């Protein structure tokens, strides 16, 4: 069951094909894929959410959009906790982030809600529409985001902010994959729920400078119960007024980098 306030938006059809090389043509360097952030606002207490988590897990694993890297960000809201089951990964911080998006979209907050690069929102289990929105988001101008180093010495660099971008903030998110929960009560009672990449931490790093650059070496606090081989650092560059994400970067975390 969705906890729905106002209906979401709809998207038209977009082609998802890429040019086919001519037979016998020389192979060139493989171009870097365009990273696109898919923020899924979800809850262990919502019976409609496991399908959305499954869809996002599959998209991240298969990467079906040519030239695009889908970056999954599962953010568990806390407003379902009063309805029979307290979500293990829920946070009021994610609820507030969703409300900020909802105010801009005029959509209301609901689960499962997917937000793509801060530009489009839709029901998170609608795979075809997710693909369309991801492909469309990948066509917009973007800043360069680079992450380097091992977890103990992470370095973040931002440059080449798109022309016309307003003041922008840099956010760091730590995600963990492979997480499951056996649900004891509520709408999903008795189910083993498998999550898309769960956001374990979200924190601001600072603002992009007037010249369109940013650099930081954030200290990471990784609790021992987090499986470090399943962790990834994700950086979003987000325009402050519009909440559009204008840059995405990610890096798997391991002791050796």
List, for residues 73-109, the tens digit of each pLDDT value: 999 999 999 999 999 999 999 999 999 999 999 999 9
74 domain residue, yes or no? yes
Does the residue 41 lie in any domain?
Answer: yes
DSSP single-letter state for residue 47 = T
Average pLDDT score over residue span 111-118 = 98
User: pLDDT digits over 228-238, tens only?
Assistant: 999 999 999 99
User: Looking at the domain assignment, is residue 228 inside a domain?
Assistant: yes
> Is 22 a member of any domain?
no
- For residue range 59-76, list pLDDT tens digits in order: 999 999 999 999 999 999
Assigned domain for 169 exists = yes
Q: For residue 18, what pLDDT band results from cuts at 50, 70 and 90?
A: very low
Tokens at 123, concatenated: 């029901």
Provide the number of structural domains found in the chain: 1
Enclosing domain of residue 69: 34-252
Whether the per-residue pLDDT at 7 is higher than 80: the answer is no
Residue 20 included in any domain: no
pLDDT for the residue numbered 256: 54
pLDDT at 37 over 80: yes
DSSP E strands in the chain: the ranges are 34-42, 68-76, 113-116, 120-123, 144-148, 155-159, 168-176, 180-182, 192-194, 198-207, 214-216, 231-239, 245-252
Answer whether residue 191 shows pLDDT above 50.
Answer: yes
Q: Establish if 3 belongs to a structural domain.
A: no
Percent of the chain residues past pLDDT 90, beyond the cut: 84
Examine residue 29 and state whether it is found in any structural domain, yes or no.
no
201 vs 88, 221, 223, 249, CA distance in Å? 14, 9, 11, 16
Which residue, 73, 52, 54, 50, is CA-closest to 62?
54
């Amino acid at each position: 069951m969705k906890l729905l306030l106002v209906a979401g938006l709809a998207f038209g059809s977009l082609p998802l094909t890429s040019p086919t090389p001519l037979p016998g043509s020389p192979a060139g360097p493989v171009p870097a894929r365009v990273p696109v952030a898919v923020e899924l606002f979800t809850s262990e207490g919502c019976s409609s959410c496991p399908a959305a988590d499954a869809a996002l897990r599959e998209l991240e694993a298969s990467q079906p959009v040519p030239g695009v890297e889908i970056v999954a960000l599962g953010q568990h809201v806390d407003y379902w906790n009063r309805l029979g089951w307290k979500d293990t990964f829920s946070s009021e911080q994610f609820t507030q982030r969703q409300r900020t998006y909802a105010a801009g979209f005029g959509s209301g907050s609901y689960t499962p809600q997917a937000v793509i690069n801060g530009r489009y929102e839709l029901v998170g289990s609608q795979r075809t529409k997710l693909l369309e929105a991801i492909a469309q988001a990948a066509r917009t101008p973007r800043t360069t985001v680079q992450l380097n180093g091992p977890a103990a010495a992470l370095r973040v660099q931002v440059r080449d902010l798109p022309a016309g971008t307003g003041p922008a903030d840099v956010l760091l998110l730590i995600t963990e994959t492979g997480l499951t929960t056996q649900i004891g009560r509520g709408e999903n009672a008795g189910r083993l729920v498998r999550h898309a990449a769960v956001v374990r931490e979200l924190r601001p790093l600072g603002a992009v400078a007037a010249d369109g650059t940013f650099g930081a070496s954030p200290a990471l606090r990784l609790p021992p119960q987090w499986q470090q081989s399943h962790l990834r650092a994700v950086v979003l560059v987000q325009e402050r007024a519009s909440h559009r994400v204008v840059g995405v970067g990610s890096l798997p975390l391991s002791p050796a980098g």
